[in-house]
Amino acid sequence: MDNTMDKKHPVSELMRSTIEKIHELVDTNVIVGQPINTPDGVTLIPISRVNFGFGSGGGDYGKSPKENFGGGGGAGVKIDPVAFLTIKDGVTRVLPVAAPPATTLDRIVEMAPDLMDKAEKFLDKKKKEQESV
């Protein structure tokens, strides 16, 4: 009886090992960090952008003596700090870590969410004024 079926395949083991190592490196505590409490009552929560990738390869070169196998694996992780959530007196704000915008277009893109909120509030206010007339 052939006992090779009882053994785990080397390629499977290689993939499992690579994925386990990535899992150890990239968890939710990396993306949304542990809260930091300051003496003046501010809570800071770090937020990061995580990019990762991995690759594995292998081979099974036939059933010759010692059952040939060749393989390799690798992984990469890039962690960039993006912002801090600041919480003080029940008010939450986002404090970006990125460098200030360099061009006018960068400034416009950065301001777009605030401008949209202000425009929406303005339109809602006008709508209510017209309904009350």
Do 115 and 61 belong to one domain?
no
Contact 73, 55 (CB under 8 A): yes
Do 77 and 106 belong to one domain?
no
Residue 3 has pLDDT above 60, yes or no: no
What CA–CA distances, in Å, run from 118 to 21, 96, 108, 115, 131? 46, 20, 14, 5, 20
The span from the CA of 131 to the CA of 46, in Å, is 44
The whole domain housing 33 covers 1-98
| The predicted structure's pLDDT at residue 2 | 45
pLDDT tens-digit map of 75-90? 777 888 888 888 888 8
- pTM, two decimals, is 0.46
Residue 40 has pLDDT above 60, yes or no: yes
Do 2 and 20 belong to one domain?
yes
| The predicted structure's pLDDT at residue 28 | 60
| The predicted structure's pLDDT at residue 31 | 76
Do 88 and 103 belong to one domain?
no
